[in-house]
């Protein structure tokens, strides 16, 4: 059957929202041809999923779209914090937090930071960038059926505009087709977790007078706690376009039809505390928050990503960020396997790495919703009672205890209690500003298209030559950088402050070495010299990449 397919591609992506588009972008950056099909006619029109955390922005920076995303997010660049108040009239209420990065401490850990870019603004940036890289992205095209065998997947796709059908033969299928994922359902993959948490109706509206009520309070989100009209208010442009999330209780028999325009107008006015506020409803969409994780992320040649693999409470914007990071983890592994420099077993590590992260993160998201008293969320006993506190260790500090890593300490928690980015295998590599080829770059900017070996020009072991020889003889894309020759740590501007010690920052010594994966995670490190560095590297890479 597959020999007669109308199209042949290495990767078929099903779903063209944030995660599908991110998968396309990351694969395009790695030169992997692919086809994306999305049943809807275009990108999202509804402003949602706006919080892009620092780890996601690191990935978008490496993919070359950080500036474009910031441009798309410019209207909300000055908004920070979450306000909780019974009314917006007057000065009542309190800030749950006023700044995402108070004092600018994030600069110690990352070359970038959080960015408030709504899904309807972010998706077009990803779409344009993915197409510019050669991605074949088809909207109004729906995958109807698929079958897989030992060598690949054959799918039938329908063009919804013409009703014509065609077949696609792919080596791998990435299912980014949402929480109700037909692909996951077709494979019979179950999900675990507490399940549904709460539901909201998301309303877009115009109001020219609301900006005067809000004043200079430039919040990301405001939780309004009126006992008869609670909800969440989010600015779209800080002027006249807004979003309001109203609690919806389908578990009590409440239907969406009951949310009439008149009811929503009354609800919004009462919640804000301004009975004469001008409110013009421009759109309405329902959504449900849930905590569920798929029981497995892979089935043969099919891989789940994003909401098809996990659902989590929206508080903290963990869901979309976790999905984009799924895509990044998956993209380099698909590129490695399809490029012939890794064995198929490398793709098994996608499940062993990303699923524990989703389980831990979804529990933190539910706990965050309880902590913030998210409107409409009345948790059942035992739900949302996990660890609380800061989220930086969740978004940057998560670790891969098992998978494509050598020497990870699997006794650690997937999400640690504190942020520790010290070069341990399975953690995101440390960020240092360095000079490379005359330019100022972050060490994180070096990781995307190849494995990278870091060593010291003073080392008693010639790791650099060993890495070059291994790359030449195996065909594995392995790039070597020596601190002191290829890379020079940037001297801090403060006088009498020494330049950072790269080896100490990475938990090694000048005689040691650190191997970093294309996704910026430490794959392996050694603190000691090696009598035969070529053999050490070859054996490490064979274990890491599942090659003979």
Structure pTM?
Answer: 0.94
Question: In this structure, are 375 and 449 located in the same domain?
Answer: no
Q: Of the candidates 347, 382, 417, which is a domain's last residue?
A: 382
- Into how many domains does the chain fold? 2
Closest listed residue to residue 214, CA positions, set 78, 75, 88, 76: 88
193: left (phi over 0), alpha (psi -120 to 50) or beta: left
Dist. CA 297–CA 476, nearest whole Å: 26
Structural domain includes residue 273: no
| 297/375 same-domain check | yes
Q: What is the DSSP letter of 4?
A: G
Quick one: 351 and 442 in the same domain?
A: no
Smallest Cα–Cα separation from 520: which of 405, 375, 360?
405
Compute the distance between CA of residue 436 and CA of residue 234 in angstroms, rounded to an integer.
Answer: 42
Question: What is the CA 136 to chain-centroid distance, rounded?
Answer: 22
- On whether both 35 and 102 belong to a single domain, the answer is yes
Closest CA to 134 of 260, 29, 248, 6: 29
Under 8 Å between Cβ of 515 and 538: no
Note whether 37 and 158 are same-domain residues. yes
Residues 82 and 188 in one domain: yes
Nearest CA to 232 out of 240, 223, 241, 243 is that of: 223
What is the total residue count of the chain? 548
> 172 with 10: CB under 8 angstroms?
yes
Mention every residue, 6+ apart, whose C-beta is less than 8 A from residue 193: 290, 291, 292, 293, 311, 359, 362
pLDDT for res 497: 62
Question: Which residues are CB-neighbours of 473 under 8 A, at least 6 positions away?
Answer: none
We report the CATH number of the domain holding residue 19 as 3.50.50.60
Residue 242, in any domain of the structure: no
Largest CA distance in the chain: 79
Instruction: Give the E-state strand segments of 497-539 in sequence order.
Output: 513-516, 522-526
Residue in the structure block whose two tokens are 């070597």 = 480
Neighbours of 438 (CB within 10 A): 5
Shared domain for 27 and 143, answered yes or no, is yes
**Is 382 in contact with 399 (CB distance < 8 Å)?**
no
Q: What is the pLDDT of residue 91?
A: 80
Q: DSSP letters of 204-271?
A: EEE-SSHHHHHTT---SEEEE--TTS-EEEEESSSSSEEEEEEEE-GGGT--GGG--HHHHHHHHHHH
Q: Are residues 332 and 446 located together in one domain of the fold? A: no
How far apart (Å, rounded) are the C-alpha atoms in residues 218 and 82? 9
Q: Which of 340, 363, 382 is the last residue of a domain?
A: 382
Distance from C-alpha of 345 to C-alpha of 433, rounded to nearest angstrom = 35
Asked which of 339, 362, 382 is the last residue of a domain, the reply is 382
376 shares a domain with 437: no
- Residue 232 counted as domain residue: no
CB contact at 8 A, 231 and 244: yes
**Cβ(141)–Cβ(73) below 8 Å:** no
- The answer to whether position 274 is within a domain reads no
Query: Does residue 438 share a domain with residue 300?
Result: no
Judge whether 201 lies within some domain: no
Q: Which residues fall within 8 angstroms of residue 138, CB to CB, at 6 or more apart?
A: 35, 36, 37, 38, 157, 159
DSSP letters for 314-343: STTSHHHHHHHHHHHHHHHHHHHHHTTSS-
Angle made by CA atoms 118, 311, 359, in degrees to the nearest 5: 120
Q: Domain of 11?
A: 2-192+291-382
Q: Are residues 367 and 448 in the same domain?
A: no
Between CA 320 and CA 330, with CA 324 as vertex, the angle to 5 degrees is 145
Which pLDDT value is given to residue 1?
44
Instruction: Tell me the CA distances in angstroms from 531 to 79, 483, 500, 512, one per residue in order.
Output: 55, 21, 28, 12
Angle at 43 between CA 220 and CA 285, to 5 degrees: 60
Q: Is 322 part of a structural domain of the chain?
A: yes
Q: Which CATH number do you get for residue 452?
A: 3.40.30.120
For residue 292, the model assigns a pLDDT of: 97
Whole-angstrom distance, CA of residue 396 vs CA of residue 386: 19
Does residue 211 lie in a domain region? no
54-62 vs 318-338: helix axis angle to the nearest 10? Answer: 40
Same-domain check for residues 445 and 336: no
The answer to whether residue 510 sits within a structural domain is yes
What are the mean pLDDT values of the chain's consecutive 10-residue runs (548 residues total)?
81 98 98 98 83 96 98 92 91 85 86 93 97 98 97 98 98 97 98 92 95 94 92 94 94 91 96 96 91 98 98 87 98 98 98 97 86 68 61 93 96 92 98 95 98 97 97 98 95 68 96 98 97 98 96
- Rounded to whole angstroms, how far apart are CA atoms 495 and 347? 48
């Amino acid at each position: 059957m597959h020999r007669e397919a109308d199209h042949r591609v290495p990767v078929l992506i099903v779903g063209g929202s944030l995660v599908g588009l991110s998968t396309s972008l990351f694969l395009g950056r790695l030169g992997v041809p692919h086809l994306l099909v999305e049943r809807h006619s275009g990108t999202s029109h509804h402003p949602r999923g706006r919080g892009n955390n620092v780890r996601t922005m690191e990935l978008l920076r490496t993919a070359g779209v950080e500036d474009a995303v910031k441009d798309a997010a410019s209207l909300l660049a000055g908004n920070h914090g979450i306000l909780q108040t019974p009314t917006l009239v007057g000065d009542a209420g309190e800030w749950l937090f006023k700044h995402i990065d108070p004092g600018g401490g994030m600069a110690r850990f990352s070359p970038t930071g959080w960015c408030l870019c709504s899904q309807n603004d972010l998706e077009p940036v990803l779409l344009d960038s993915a197409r510019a890289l050669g991605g074949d992205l088809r909207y109004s095209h729906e995958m109807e059926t698929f079958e897989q065998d030992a060598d690949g997947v054959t799918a039938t796709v329908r063009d919804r505009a013409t009703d014509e059908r065609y077949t696609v033969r792919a080596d791998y299928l990435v299912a980014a087709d949402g929480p109700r994922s037909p692909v996951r359902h077709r494979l019979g993959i179950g999900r675990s977790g507490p399940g549904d948490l709460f539901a909201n109706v998301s309303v877009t509206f115009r109001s020219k007078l609301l900006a005067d009520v809000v004043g200079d309070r430039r919040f990301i989100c405001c939780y309004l706690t009126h006992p008869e009209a609670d909800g969440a208010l989010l600015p779209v442009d800080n002027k006249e376009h807004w979003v309001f999330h109203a609690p919806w209780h389908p578990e009590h028999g409440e239907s969406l039809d009951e949310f009439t325009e008149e009811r929503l107008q009354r609800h919004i006015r009462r919640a804000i505390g301004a009975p004469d506020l001008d409110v013009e409803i421009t759109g309405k969409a329902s959504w449900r928050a849930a905590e569920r994780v798929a029981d497995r992320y892979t089935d043969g040649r099919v891989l789940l990503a994003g909401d098809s693999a996990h659902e989590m409470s929206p508080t903290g914007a963990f869901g979309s960020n976790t999905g984009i990071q799924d895509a990044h983890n998956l993209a380099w592994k698909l590129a490695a396997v399809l490029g012939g420099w890794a064995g198929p077993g490398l793709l098994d590590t996608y499940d062993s790495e990303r699923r524990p992260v989703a389980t831990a993160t979804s529990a933190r998201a539910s706990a965050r919703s309880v902590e913030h008293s998210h409107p409409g969320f009345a948790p059942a006993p035992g739900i949302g009672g996990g660890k609380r506190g800061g989220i930086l260790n969740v978004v940057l500090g998560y670790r891969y205890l098992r998978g494509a890593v050598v020497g990870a300490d699997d006794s650690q928690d997937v999400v640690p209690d504190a942020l520790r980015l010290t070069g341990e295998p399975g953690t995101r590599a440390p960020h240092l500003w360095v000079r490379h080829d005359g330019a100022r770059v972050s060490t994180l900017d070096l990781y995307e298209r190849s494995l990278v070996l870091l060593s010291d020009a003073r080392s008693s072991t010639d790791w650099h030559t060993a890495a070059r020889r291994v790359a030449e003889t195996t065909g594995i894309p392995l790039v070597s950088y020596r601190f002191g020759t290829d890379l020079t740590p940037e001297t801090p501007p403060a006088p009498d402050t020494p330049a950072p010690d790269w080896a100490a920052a990475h938990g090694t010594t000048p005689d040691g070495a650190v191997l970093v994966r294309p996704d910026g995670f430490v794959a392996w490190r050694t603190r000691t010299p090696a009598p035969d560095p070529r053999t050490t590297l070859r054996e490490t890479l064979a274990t890491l990449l599942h090659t003979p």
